[in-house]
Amino acid sequence: PVANATIGPGPPSPQVRAGDPVTLRCSVQVGSAPVTFTWLRDGHEVAQGPLLALGDAEPPHSGTYRCVATNQLDGHRVFRALSPELNVTVTPRGHGGTAVAAGVGGSLLFLLLLLGVIGGCHWWHR
């Protein structure tokens, strides 16, 4: 029978930034082939197979993930192994573009002010 289902490698932390690629792998330490894998998010089936590729993560991908490994012995008895739960939270990317634009705008304004002061000093000394 299947046993010790695990999810790996998992995201480096439970917090994932939107747009980051996320792929989870389910495996078992014990179990005769063929082993089937079912992925659950918040208790609902979302995919089949040993890999769950979320692609570029978005906030709707947030949730509690779990893998269910299943195999059959003697054609009749079905065995299941549940992985530990993995909580994933996808946080929206900050408004980095806005911060960069504000920084560039502020730098340009400072440069114009500096040029004005230099020009004024030059005019004053003439």
Residue 102 falls within a domain, yes or no?
no
Residue 8 falls within a domain, yes or no?
yes
pTM score: 0.70
What SS3 state is found at 51?
strand
Residue 53 falls within a domain, yes or no?
yes
Residue 39 falls within a domain, yes or no?
yes
Domain containing 84: what range?
Answer: 3-92
Residue 24 falls within a domain, yes or no?
yes
Of 31, 39, 25, the closest CA to residue 71 belongs to 31
Strand partners, 72: 78
Has residue 99 got a pLDDT over 50?
A: no
Specify the CATH number for the domain of residue 45.
2.60.40.10
Angstrom distance (rounded) from CA 88 to CA 41:
10
CB-side neighbour CA atoms (13 Å) of 124? 6
The count of structural domains within the chain is: 1
Higher-pLDDT residue of 12 and 45 is 45
Has residue 29 got a pLDDT over 80?
A: yes
Q: Tens digits of per-residue pLDDT, 59-87?
A: 999 999 999 999 998 778 999 999 999 99
Residue 125 falls within a domain, yes or no?
no
Contact 92, 61 (CB under 8 A): no
Rg of the Cα atoms in the chain: 27
Angstrom distance (rounded) from CA 53 to CA 83:
17
Residue 104 falls within a domain, yes or no?
no
